[in-house]
Amino acid sequence: MTLDLFADADLQQPERFESIGAQSCVLRGFALPWVERLLPALAKVLAQAPFRQMVTPGGFTMSAGLSSCGALGWTSDRDGYRYTRVDPQSGRPWPEMPEVFRQLAEDAARVAGFAHFAADACLINRYVPGAKMSLHQDRNERDFSAPVVSVSLGLPAIFLFGGHERGDKTQRIPLFHGDIVVWGGVDRLRFHGVLPIKDGHHPRLGAERLNFTLRTAG
């Protein structure tokens, strides 16, 4: 599948809506019309809260660079995984979530079947070639009734989408610049991850993949 397939803006095209579970899907190229607004907004967030390599509770340094915006930001260190209202690196509140992030997430959630989605947290990941994300569940949120909306920009990635147990079989789903994955409802606690990013060069973002994931955390 190539990005040429996604040139048509009609979201009802069957090739644009890819079901990957009972209440989960990939919206192919959904974010492409938003990119020119997303990237400047992202740059402002990162100027206040630059990417950093976080440490897991087990003492391992994560290969992806992380930042956050919104009322709550996701944090990992020796004390565990959690959301905080303050960036532990700066001691200041996390940057405000850009309105364009919020609008895109609400639109994507609605198309995926989740009306009235209201995100208060956005985790931003930077993957360079070789970086990955191990299989995990998003369990730090207080309310699992809201979906997860995950936006991909830059280099392609292979998204692993598994079951409700770590050992369940996973789907390997290619994600390209502008794709959005939405999962919620009965699929909300499915394990997911990202295989190591392969070497490459994206014409706009260079040798990196940017991913931001919006959730209702509080």
Residue % of the chain over a pLDDT of 90 = 90
User: Is 10 part of any domain?
Assistant: no
Q: Looking at the domain assignment, is residue 111 inside a domain?
A: yes
**Looking at the domain assignment, is residue 7 inside a domain?**
no
Is residue 5 included in any domain, yes or no?
no
pTM of the predicted model as reported, rounded to 2 decimal places: 0.92
Taking alpha carbons only, the member of 105, 83, 104 closest to residue 94 is 83
Q: Is residue 218 part of a domain?
A: no
pLDDT tens-place string over residues 160-175? 999 999 999 999 999 9
Report the alpha-carbon distance of residue 66 to residue 18 in Å, rounded: 28
- Please, what's the b/e burial string for 147-178 (b: 16 or more CB within 10 A of its CB; e: otherwise)? bbbbbbbbbbbbbbbbeeeeeeebeebebbbb
- What CATH number has the domain bearing residue 62? 2.60.120.590
SS3 (DSSP) at 52? strand
Strands laid side by side in the 171-175 sheet:
133-136, 192-194, 157-161, 171-175
* 62-81 pLDDT, tens digit each: 999 999 999 999 999 999 99
What mean pLDDT comes out for the span 128-149? 96
Segment 195-205 mean pLDDT? 97
The model's pLDDT over 90-119, given as tens digits with 9 standing for 90+, comes to 999 999 999 999 999 999 999 999 999 999
The residue segments making up the domain with residue 56 are 19-210
Rounded to whole angstroms, how far apart are CA atoms 104 and 42? Answer: 13
Per the structure, how many domains does the chain have?
A: 1
Give percent of the chain above pLDDT 70. Answer: 93
Residues 101 and 149 sit within 8 Å (Cβ to Cβ): no
pLDDT of residue 140: 95
Amino acid residing at 14? P
Alpha carbon of 109 to those of 87, 140, 183: distances in Å? Answer: 27, 20, 9
Q: What is the DSSP string of 59-109?
A: SPBPSSEEEEEESBEEEEETTEEEEESB-TTTSSBPPPPPHHHHHHHHHHH
